Chains A and B, each alone.
Chain A
Amino acid sequence: MLGIQFIELLIFFEKFGLAVAGAASFWGFAFAVFSSRLVNKREAALWLGAAQKLILLFFSGIFLFGFIWLIVALQSCAFCAIGHEGISGAPEMGAAELAGAIQKQFSTALLLELSAFITLVLLLIKRGFILANIKWVYGFFLTVITIIYVYPWGEIDSFKSAAYTALHNWHSILTLGSVIVVDFIYIALRYNLRDILPKLFSAITLGIWIGLGLDFLSSGLVFQESFTPAPKTLFAQMLIGIIIINGVFLSGPLIRAIIFFREKINEDVVPIKLHRLAGISGAVSLGAWTSITAINGFHSITLSYFGLFAFYVAFVSLIYAARELIDKILIKTKVWR
């Protein structure tokens, strides 16, 4: 449909899950390390609490990755037996290359999923142990996820191509994944972590800007040989522009206004207009990051430039509606109070 192959859609969700898990590990590790260096015990407890709460996001991402990875492996026939006379179940060359990469990646992906499962079980039966050692838990998972991102599982054309792939994959932790972390913290934890929100958002925002910079560096390695003025490419450039401009508004004046209400007026409920603006801006940001990751993987997408734009606007509207609904449910059930 629209030139999008089913396997490309699956790979997008796989990347999404791993980016979320990677970002939760990265920021969880960073917050836990920062907490251990603070003298103020209350502030240290808040940062450690933020790190511990990210474990929910981590498990969501890691199990989405694992589940989709398995489906991709089955779809691409990565473990199909070679039949008589060397006839394999894997369909054509591109898919065979994917199947080969999945086979090579199998032990690492299995290590990641088994470790996540064991951690979840330990969290249920020995919660205190895992939460007390959360820094090491995140450090381990971040290392394994980095290996999955950076190691050249597929065919290597050149060092430049391998470097591009490694940087381009890993940057998802600081960009798409971190945007999800920001959303998670804002929607689910903004009242619990009120006192450290300004520093927390500043840190993650800096990470996102650096992540986008890593993407530019990686793209710069292959730009001259890979750039084509196709609708998909030009649309991605438009999304980059939107990401930057919207990102400035969201991380700058909007967040400062929200913090002003909390600190100066000591008001937990921000004006409805401000809340709506922040919601729209957040949806624009998440929609842009998700769309750019998706279309990067849809090699044969047939939508025109305006078709892609219409799809993006519809997607942002959906994200905004979902965020508002989740927010209302959390307020009604008083989950975080």
Chain B
Amino acid sequence: MTQYFKLNEWIFIAAGVGTLVAIPFLSMAGFWLWAVVKMIYFLAIIVLLIETKIKR
């Protein structure tokens, strides 16, 4: 299974799952919970850009 996804894709999946899991808690933990999940997303973009650069 690990071979089907690249590193950036795993991090994107974590961000997506994190977004779904955070939904019931957003009204309590609000901005900071939301921000942490988005940080994971931006990390995925950075890794994607690095992997694209390495591939070239």
Contact = CB atoms under 8 A, between A and B. Distances in A.
A binds B: yes
Interface of A: 202, 206, 209-210, 212-213, 216, 220, 223-224, 227, 229, 234, 237-238, 240-245, 247-248, 252-253
A223 B29 CA distance: 13
A117 to B, nearest CB: 38
B27 A229 contact: yes
B26 interface: yes
A216 B27 contact: no
B13 to A, nearest CB: 5
Given A237-B23, A248-B5, A223 B31 contact: yes
Given A202-B52, A253-B5, A223 B34 contact: yes
A233 B12 CA distance: 21
Contacts of A252: 4-6, 9
Contacts of A209: 12, 44-45, 48
Contact of B19 (A213, A223, A229, A240): A240
Contact of B16 (A210, A223, A224, A241): A241
B20 A220 contact: no
B26 A247 contact: no
| Majority secondary structure, B binding face | helix
| Majority secondary structure, A binding face | helix
B52 to A, nearest CB: 7
Nearest to A237: B23
A18 B31 CA distance: 31
A247 B5 CA distance: 12
B48 A237 contact: no
B19 A237 contact: yes
B15 A244 contact: yes
Given A202-B52, A244-B15, 15 more contacts: A209-B48, A213-B45, A216-B38, A216-B42, A224-B31, A229-B26, A237-B19, A237-B22, A237-B26, A238-B23, A241-B16, A243-B16, A245-B20, A248-B5, A248-B9
Nearest to B55: A202
B35 interface: yes
A216 B36 CA distance: 12
Nearest to A243: B16
A216 B41 contact: yes
Which 3 interchain pairs have the tightest Cβ spacing?
Answer: A244-B16, A245-B16, A229-B27
Contacts of A247: 12
B42 A213 contact: yes
Contacts of B13: 244-245, 248
B38 A220 contact: yes
Nearest to B21: A241
Contacts of A237: 19-20, 22-23, 26
A102 to B, nearest CB: 33
A244 B12 contact: yes
A256 to B, nearest CB: 8
Contacts of B35: 220
